[in-house]
Amino acid sequence: MNPQPFNTAGLTKLAPNEPRDHHYVPQFFLRNFAVDQEKTRITTVGKHGPMAIWSERSIESLGYERDFYVHMRHGIPESVETEINRRIETPISQSDTWAKITSGRTDALDRSDRAILYALIRHLEARTPHYEATMSELARMASDPTSEMPFGDDERAAYGEMRANPNLAKKMLKMAATTAWAERNFKGALMMVLRSPITLRSSTTPVLAMPAPAHPAMALPLPGMIPYQLVLTLNPATIACLLLGDFDGAFSNREIDVPTAMGFNRHFVGQFAKFDYVRHLITPADDIAVDMTWAPYDLVESSQRKIVFRRRA
């Protein structure tokens, strides 16, 4: 991969023709899970207060917020939406790697695809409301002297600045217009492509931080962190797992068994149930009632077109 398209961040002042509905989940990504020939619709479980409803929905209507990528600079609103599309989404979606994924040839993904997969995971990790909320929660924890997470003085100072300036958390989203912030970890990271015998789930927070077995090569940048991997469902049959650390750029592509795939699916359901900012679980109807009642939701009604759940008190 030529890193240049991913290195140059930019800001675009709001103009009359500037997009206002900012999709924090790219539509080119969601189309991998489409259920119609035109690739405009997917099936999801969506939150509606205490209710969760599985149904078919328009891709265009999912994974966006009004002016999400807008922050204030010297009192003037600026947006990175256009730069994200031009510098990140377009190069990735037009790459040979993405062609393999969209055509179902993920068994052909190899070390030459590692850079695009890495850029995709780190980019989708950093551009969602969940990521923004996590940064705000870390800032709150850093101000709490009884917090179990042992922040250093520099970290407390940085998060203190974020608490004092509410616009700063929004401003930090401009890093979604570049992957330069993540490049220093690329060389050593471990990338695993896992191909599943069953349909895999995803969500509108597509990159899931999931526990991983401890390994001395892992990078754990925040104090008190447990070993983790970043997981992204590439298409309904394939997951990519990224482990940051000193793994000498290792890459693997292999099949997984049904219990392992079911474990990944359960984690996406658990993420949907736990976090308010995970608004849609991308999934077919298969076994969804079983996993949602584990989540914990109660089944209210079920038909071929709609399944309704109510969260337990």
Cβ atoms < 10 Å from Cβ of 180: 13
Q: How far apart are CA 298 and CA 289, in angstroms?
A: 9
Alpha-helical segments (H) within 20-94 = 27-30, 81-84, 90-93
Q: What is the pLDDT of residue 114?
A: 97
Q: What is the pLDDT of residue 145?
A: 76
Q: How far apart are CA 202 and CA 120, in angstroms?
A: 15
Closest CA to 65 of 149, 131, 111: 131
Q: What is the pLDDT of residue 78?
A: 54
Q: What is the pLDDT of residue 14?
A: 46
For residue 213, how many C-alpha atoms fall within 13 Å in the half-sphere facing its CB? 1
Q: What is the pLDDT of residue 75?
A: 57
User: How do residues 197-219 score in pLDDT, each as one tens digit?
Assistant: 999 999 999 999 999 999 999 99
Contacts of 241 (CB under 8 A, 6+ apart): 191, 192, 194, 212, 229, 230, 231
Tokens of 250: 């290792």
Q: What is the pLDDT of residue 60?
A: 87
Q: What is the pLDDT of residue 130?
A: 64
What is the 3-state composition of the chain as percent helix, strand, coil, each rounded to the nearest 5? 40, 25, 35
Tokens of 33: 């899970």
Closest CA to 236 of 199, 266, 291: 199
Residues of the chain with pLDDT under 70: 1-23, 63-87, 129-139, 141-142, 148-149, 155, 158-178
Q: What is the pLDDT of residue 237?
A: 98
Closest CA to 267 of 228, 224, 306, 310: 228
Q: How far apart are CA 79 and CA 109, in angstroms?
A: 34
pTM over 0.75: yes
Burial 70-102 (b: 16+ CB within 10 A, else e): bbeeeeeebbbbbbbbebbbebbbebebbebbb
